[in-house]
Amino acid sequence: MGREIFLWLFLALLLAGVVLAWRNLRVGRGDRRGALRLALFLFGVEFLVCLAYMRHSTDINNEAEGLMMGLAQALVTAVSGWVLYMALEPFVRRVWPR
């Protein structure tokens, strides 16, 4: 039950972020370079964490499956970070310019 609630909250937050990010991109607001840097950082850290916690084996299929799952998880994290950065950065910059 708790996982479903977390999943729905995450999806609702991400959807709201997509709407705000789309609006900010359309009107020319938002730091695209900063968002890309954050997304690349999140991707790298998440992928390294997945590699560190992955169960390694001598079977190449298990290793490939683990790498694909790690890449997918890192990609979801990076895209989510990019969207939320693009959605929130103009509002935060307006309130907290430095």
31 pLDDT more than 90: no
Q: Would you give the end-to-end CA distance of the chain in angstroms?
A: 41
Q: Record the pTM.
A: 0.82
Across the range 29-40, mean pLDDT stands at 92
Tell me the C-alpha distance between 56 and 67, whole Å: 10
Please give the share of the chain, as a percent, with pLDDT higher than 90: 58
Tell me the CA distances in angstroms from 81 to 1, 16, 52, 61, one per residue in order.
26, 13, 21, 30
Better-scored residue on pLDDT, 2 or 16: 16
Instruction: Summarize pLDDT for 41-87 with one digit per residue, the tens.
Output: 999 999 999 989 888 888 889 889 989 999 999 999 999 999 999 99
Average pLDDT, rounded, for the chain: 90
